[in-house]
A and B are shown apart, each in its own frame.
Chain A
Amino acid sequence: MQDNLTYTFSSKLKTLSFILMAIGAISIGISFATNPDQTWANLMHNNFYFLTIALGGLFFYAVQYAAEVGWSVYIIRIPLAMSQYLWISGVIMLILFFAAGHHIWHWTHHELVMETLPDGKPNPDYDEILAGKSAYLNVPFFLIRMVAYFVIWYGFAVLLRKHAMKEDLTGAIEHHNRSRKLSIIFLVLFAVTSSTSAWDFVMSIDSHWFSTLYGWYTFSGIFVSSLGVIALIMVYLRSQGYLHHLNENHFHDVGKFIFAFSIFWTYLWFAQFMLIWYANLPEEVTYFMERQDYYKTLFVTNFLVNFILPFVVLMTRDAKRKLRLLAILGSVIFIGHWIDTYLMVVPGIMHEKGTIGVLEIGTTIGFIGMFIFTVFTALTKLSLLPQKHPMLQESEHFIL
């Protein structure tokens, strides 16, 4: 069968994405009117979650090029399209910082880190821990880092896309080699920025707390949630009559990735939890006490959905090779890591007052609409199949 090489954004999906965005806007509006504190937390939660998905897509793309991977050539344009969402995350993150910085990030309160008040008296609100961290966690440096992250990430997303486009036009091998070089540089930068951005955006919400494992833990979430979304988009495109050449061997590899990185996520989640649980140090356990006391259901669901389900369902070879199961699991991972990100972000901002309900889900639906619109628009701009890719044949004959 002849493949449809260019994707056309069907008007049905486009309308759907606008409806989703409208639902999101209404939810955010109602939420602002009733509970503005929670709204900021929701926006931060969803913005960070979709940032991780887009960033994970870029990471996946870079890994495929750096390692000269053959099997993934058929799906390689999906993560590239996902990475084009990054600029939206950057804009929203900046808006959040200026509009609700004090509410989300406790350490931004300048008056907490001054030992003496302007009139020379000792400051009653002086916070020694935050003062100790203020060399790193201060507003100007934070802003510089925040802008730098998004410039680096989105810059690489745009550059890689440019080379992919030129490769489609000319077929010259130099664009492939250039993509590879860019990918390697990106991976080095990503190794640093994925950790530091996790500390900045999320860990610093719980300003007094710290965990040395946090960067890795966030990275595992980044990768597994974006793999889930890649699987979902893959299944959707396949059901719409694109990507005929994809066969069960490709699904098997994506399934193995999801399986492996779900376990990797669990490993890091558990390593972080167990050490803190075991040592029982007051300054560390507060983080988990808060989450266990006020968010017990979510805390347990998080573990079950993100570990037990993928582990049991994807264990056999046959399960990884079935398209429908992969689609179900992609949705499960999407929901599971939505909960995980909720637990990372919201309790630190709202403490015992965090809510989860229709408005929270509505906000997420809005973000889904925005994500669908951006990513599928990006998909239409490039050929769905990198036809001049040197390893296209290898992907076609890939057997596992």
Chain B
Amino acid sequence: MTKQLHGIFNDDEVLLNAIKELKSKGIKCTNAYSPFPVHGLDGALGLKRTRISIASFLYGATGTCLALLMMWYMNIWDWPMDIGGKPSWNLYKNIPAFIPITFEFTVLCAAHGMVITFYLRSRLLPGVTPNVIHDRMHDDHFVLTVEGKVSDETAIRESLKQVGAVEIRS
């Protein structure tokens, strides 16, 4: 059985040092919540790099293809258009006219896809009650989630206090 505990800190430097010390004692730090980005926090926690950039690339590529397909269907296939006085009737020759819309649609898909993915992964969908561990964790306090055996609970609580946690919640 593992037990989750949340240590509340009021300073980002203390939090960073706490992670290092707890790790050296063999206590697993699984996550941290901070009201602003803290330099070096990802590294200290040993988090993997986000894959949202890969997702964003895929969404963008999808947008490019969809936009070109749409304009090919509308202006080349279904209703051939004489673009800029150049009746060439094919995508390859008319492509400069389609680039601005393709670009916009790529950005639209990449941006929206990225935001939606981020919300899904963070479980921040509309209607979901967010898991607020501490009222001030979005203001000026930092939360560190640690995991350990149930039997070690008192020792973990003691270590958290030692490294500067102002409060401990389970």
Interface of A with B (CB < 8 Å)? 270, 273-274, 277-280, 315-317, 399
Contacts and interface: CB of A to CB of B under 8 A. Distances in A.
Contacts of A399: 39-40
A277 B57 contact: no
B108 interface: no
Contact of B96 (A273, A315, A316, A317): A273
Interface string B53-89: 1000100000000000000000000000001111000
A270 B100 CA distance: 10
Given A399-B39, A399-B40, A279 B84 contact: yes
Given A315-B57, A317-B53, A274 B86 contact: no
B81 to A, nearest CB: 12
Contacts of A316: 53
23 contacts: A270-B96, A270-B99, A273-B96, A274-B96, A274-B97, A274-B99, A274-B100, A277-B84, A277-B96, A278-B83, A278-B84, A278-B96, A278-B97, A279-B84, A280-B84, A280-B85, A280-B86, A315-B57, A316-B53, A317-B49, A317-B53, A399-B39, A399-B40
A273 B99 CA distance: 12
Contacts of B49: 317
Contacts of A270: 96, 99
5 cross-chain pairs, A with B, having the tightest CB-CB distances, nearest first? A278-B84, A274-B96, A280-B85, A277-B96, A280-B84
Contacts of B83: 278
Contacts of A280: 84-86
A262 B57 CA distance: 18
A71 to B, nearest CB: 14
Contacts of B53: 316-317
Nearest to A400: B39
Interface residues of B, number: 13
Nearest to A315: B57
Interface of B: 39-40, 49, 53, 57, 83-86, 96-97, 99-100
A279 B83 CA distance: 10
A282 to B, nearest CB: 11
A124 B74 CA distance: 51
Contacts of A277: 84, 96
A279 B39 CA distance: 51
A315 B53 CA distance: 10
B72 to A, nearest CB: 18
Nearest to B97: A278
Contacts of B96: 270, 273-274, 277-278
A147 to B, nearest CB: 40
* Listed residue (B85, B96, B100) with the most chain A CB atoms within 10 angstroms of its CB: B96
A276 to B, nearest CB: 10
Contacts of B99: 270, 274
Given A277-B84, A280-B84, A280-B85, 11 more contacts: A273-B96, A274-B96, A274-B99, A274-B100, A277-B96, A278-B84, A278-B96, A278-B97, A279-B84, A280-B86, A399-B39
Contacts of B39: 399
Nearest to A316: B53
A132 B25 CA distance: 82
Contacts of B57: 315
Nearest to B100: A274
Contacts of A274: 96-97, 99-100
Contacts of A278: 83-84, 96-97
* Listed residue (B39, B49, B84, B100) with the most chain A CB atoms within 10 angstroms of its CB: B84
A278 B100 CA distance: 12
A269 to B, nearest CB: 12
B98 to A, nearest CB: 10
Contacts of B40: 399
Contacts of A279: 84
B44 to A, nearest CB: 13
A399 B96 CA distance: 40
Nearest to A273: B96
Nearest to B49: A317
Contacts of B85: 280
Contacts of A273: 96
A348 to B, nearest CB: 22
A273 B97 CA distance: 11
A279 B96 CA distance: 12
B89 to A, nearest CB: 16
A240 to B, nearest CB: 31
A399 B84 CA distance: 50
A396 to B, nearest CB: 15
Nearest to B84: A278
A210 B57 CA distance: 38
A250 B49 CA distance: 19
A320 to B, nearest CB: 12
Contacts of B84: 277-280
A294 to B, nearest CB: 19
A354 B128 CA distance: 68
A390 B49 CA distance: 33
A280 B97 CA distance: 12
A260 to B, nearest CB: 15
Nearest to B96: A274
A370 B85 CA distance: 48
